[in-house]
């Protein structure tokens, strides 16, 4: 969904447009031609490998706008994960 937003509003392109030769995530990895289940699996895989700092590099942002968006998503993802772990640790402290 974020990739579609970037293509529509930042680059103002259609993924099927053959005249557009920008190296974008959706175009490079063929996301527009995949089914929804595969795309959900791919995005979950990308999020888990990125947030766990493994980052295999097989799926990665291609353009500068995508890199900025991914960096913000990772920053907020780590912040949310830390907040949830803090609550979890608080619950464990109350139990013991």
Determine the topology of domain 2-95 in CATH.
Helix Hairpins (1.10.287)
Query: Who wins on pLDDT, 82 or 34?
Result: 82
Of the pLDDT bands very low, low, confident and very high (cuts 50, 70, 90), residue 2 is low
Q: Is residue 13 over pLDDT 80?
A: no
How far is 19 from 66, CA to CA, in rounded Å?
Answer: 20
Question: Which tens digits make up the pLDDT trace of 23-63?
Answer: 677 777 777 777 888 888 887 888 888 877 777 778 777 77
Domain residue spans of the chain: 2-95
The one-character DSSP state at 16 is T
Q: For the chain, first and last CA: distance in Å? A: 43
Of the pLDDT bands very low, low, confident and very high (cuts 50, 70, 90), residue 7 is low
How far is 84 from 1, CA to CA, in rounded Å?
Answer: 25
Of the pLDDT bands very low, low, confident and very high (cuts 50, 70, 90), residue 14 is low
């Amino acid at each position: 969904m974020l990739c579609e937003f970037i293509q529509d509003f930042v680059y103002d392109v259609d993924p099927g447009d053959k005249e557009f030769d920008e190296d974008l995530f959706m175009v490079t990895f063929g996301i527009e031609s995949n089914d929804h289940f595969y795309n959900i699996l791919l995005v979950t895989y990308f999020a888990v490998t990125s947030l766990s700092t493994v980052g295999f590099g097989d799926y990665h942002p291609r353009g500068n706008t995508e890199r900025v968006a991914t960096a913000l998503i990772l920053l907020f993802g780590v912040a949310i994960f830390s907040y949830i772990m803090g609550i979890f640790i608080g619950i464990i402290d109350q139990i013991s």
